[in-house]
A and B are shown apart, each in its own frame.
Chain A
């Protein structure tokens, strides 16, 4: 039992670290703020979630104490990080940062143009 829980905890923590690393690589490699935001808001969310879950399970299964603050932390990150991603995206668009040159479509531009004409 301890061995299995050790394995699960180790897997979760490593997965979280790996996903956070992938998010960092994504932020470095992707071409424009919008695509970078994709990597940051998704991989970092799941990375932090699995790290926290691993820590929770470690204290629960191996030390025998339930730390409910970690559960609350998981819920908060789960709720707030997509909103943060959305707000950064929106702010970037509204101050006029251009999309990547290979972008194929921009429906929002039409709407903005219409609004500024009115």
Chain B
């Protein structure tokens, strides 16, 4: 992915030199042409066309913000309820992600999810130990993590 972006910058710079015009507009035109060229040459790269990854990163950011809002609502509900009723606990969650940065992003996401907080990551990076505010919701949380977060992160790193 990084190599495609670098190549795109290079094409934009070459375009500027061809025009002998160093304005931002020329750079943007060249960048757009570079996008087209890289799209046409996409089978020459081992990774997929990098615009998809950028979209995936933005959708991951959207998930982050949405979960942060939901998490705050649920914390508000627990904190401001007349009587504290929670059944906290720690559950183990096996992750399929492998690279360290993916696991870091996943744990940050989990921490900002309603009712869950990461306590520990096992030494082999396979199991996350997650403290949940309400163990009744833990199965739902597990499904959520598996289906939406892991998928979104994999989509970015594909």
Tell me whether chain A's interface is mostly helix, strand or loop, or mixed. helix
| Other-chain contact of B84, A19, A31, A42, A43 (Cβ < 8 Å) | A31
| Other-chain contact of A46, B68, B88, B91, B111 (Cβ < 8 Å) | B68
Answer yes or no: A100 CB below 8 A from chain B CBs: yes
Is the CB–CB distance between B75 and A37 below 8 Å?
no
Which size class do B's interface residues fall under? 20 to 34
| Other-chain contact of B75, A22, A89, A102 (Cβ < 8 Å) | A22
| Other-chain contact of A89, B86, B92, B131, B138 (Cβ < 8 Å) | B131
Q: A22-B76, A35-B86, A103-B88 are in contact. Are A45 and B68 (CB under 8 A)?
A: yes
The residues in B between 110 and 158 inclusive whose CB is less than 8 angstroms from any CB of A are 111-112, 115, 117-120, 122, 129, 131, 133, 135, 138
Measured between alpha carbons, how far is A23 from B129 in the docked complex, in Å? 24
Is the CB–CB distance between A26 and B75 below 8 Å?
yes
| Other-chain contact of B87, A19, A37, A102 (Cβ < 8 Å) | A102
Is the CB–CB distance between B92 and A42 below 8 Å?
no
The residues in A between 66 and 118 inclusive whose CB is less than 8 angstroms from any CB of B are 78-79, 82-83, 85-86, 89-90, 93, 99-100, 102-109, 111
Measuring CB to CB, which residues of chain A are less than 8 angstroms from any residue of chain B?
19, 22-23, 25-26, 29-32, 34-35, 37-39, 41-43, 45-46, 49, 78-79, 82-83, 85-86, 89-90, 93, 99-100, 102-109, 111
| CB pairs A–B below 8 angstroms (16 shown) | A19-B76, A22-B72, A22-B75, A35-B86, A38-B131, A46-B71, A79-B108, A86-B111, A86-B119, A93-B119, A99-B88, A103-B88, A104-B88, A107-B92, A107-B129, A109-B90
